[in-house]
Amino acid sequence: MHLLAIVAHPDDAAIFCGGTLAKHADRGDRVTVAHMTRGEYGGLGSQSEAAVAETREAEARAAGEVLGVDDVTFLDFEDGRVTDSLANRLLLVDVLREHDPDLVLTHFRDDMHPDHRATAGLVTDAYYMASLPLCETDHPPCDPDNVYHFGKPTSSFEPETFVDVSDHLDRKLDALERHESQVEFLVEHGGIDAEFDNLAESLRAEGLVLGKQAGCTAAEGFVPLHETARDYLD
């Protein structure tokens, strides 16, 4: 199986689905994380956008190693400026076709961050179009089985599919620690991303709460585009 996570920013994979990625990697699945942006707006003003992007790319690659990710890639969209356009939709169609995944993970459509919302729309629409032979891009059509959306607890996101990550929660938090610049940024940012103050503690608590709903110690939750309920996302 090939699991492809398409995320807006370098720390999103660890935050939203790090346990699930690690679990699939551990059972031998191929796992890819494609980042829409390098997160160059995620700085406190003391560095240039280019310097922030370089730091965040390195952090994402280090986090990917912790999670066991096979491929960490960047799609070169601009942070804070991802738009849901036809041209970008076709770019995402070709991304899906290039990687030819069985399953896709991405953001939930209702989210405060505009990049998250735009990414959710682009991926969902590209998923629909990726199998169409007359929609021509650089790579041949593919037909992923499903898209699973992850989201913030502050949105209308209500998980329907749960993955038991009891044995992988510590790895998720270890991967998060590789995003050192963002742990600091989210604390200093304050207010707007208040649910991520004390990020590691918040994510551990969220995992335990979702675990109670799922009947296990810790879980991550998703909303599937097509209804399924499995221990793994397959």
Whole-structure pTM over 0.95, yes or no?
no
Average pLDDT, the chain: 91
**Residue 135: what are its φ and ψ, rounded to 5°?**
-90, 95
Is 229 within the bounds of a domain?
A: no
Is 234 within the bounds of a domain?
A: no
Is 106 within the bounds of a domain?
A: yes
Which tokens in the block code for residue 161?
Answer: 């599919």
The string of pLDDT tens digits covering residues 99-137 is 999 999 999 999 989 999 999 999 999 999 999 999 999
Is 139 within the bounds of a domain?
A: yes
- Contact in structure between 224 and 147 (CB atoms under 8 Å): yes
Q: What is the mean pLDDT of residues 204-210?
A: 95
Alpha helices in 110-179 (DSSP H): 114-129, 169-177
Domain count, the chain: 1
| CA-wise closest residue to 114 among 126, 122, 102 | 122
Q: What is the mean pLDDT of residues 62-90?
A: 97
Name the percent of the chain lying above pLDDT 70: 91
Is a pLDDT exceeding 80 seen at residue 195?
no
Q: What is the mean pLDDT of residues 7-29?
A: 97
Is 233 within the bounds of a domain?
A: no
Is 52 within the bounds of a domain?
A: yes
- Give CA–CA dist 68/65, Å, rounded: 5
Residue 45 carries which DSSP code?
Answer: S
CATH code of 99's domain: 3.40.50.10320
Give the contacts of 194 (CB within 8 A, at least 6 positions apart): none
Q: What is the mean pLDDT of residues 4-21?
A: 97
Give the contacts of 11 (CB within 8 A, at least 6 positions apart): 39, 42, 56, 59, 60, 63, 176, 179, 182
Q: What pLDDT does residue 43 have? A: 78
Is a pLDDT exceeding 80 seen at residue 64?
yes
Q: Which helix (H) or strand (E) holds 17?
A: helix 12-26
Is a pLDDT exceeding 60 seen at residue 196?
no
Is 134 within the bounds of a domain?
A: yes
Q: What pLDDT does residue 148 have? A: 97
Length of the chain: 234
Is a pLDDT exceeding 80 seen at residue 185?
no
Q: What pLDDT does residue 152 have? A: 84
The residue among 179 and 45 whose pLDDT is bigger is 179
3-state secondary structure labels for all residues of 163-181: EECCCCHHHHHHHHHCCHH
Range of the structural domain that residue 176 is part of: 2-224
Q: What is the mean pLDDT of residues 224-234?
A: 67
- Contact in structure between 214 and 162 (CB atoms under 8 Å): yes
Is 107 within the bounds of a domain?
A: yes
- Contact in structure between 52 and 42 (CB atoms under 8 Å): yes
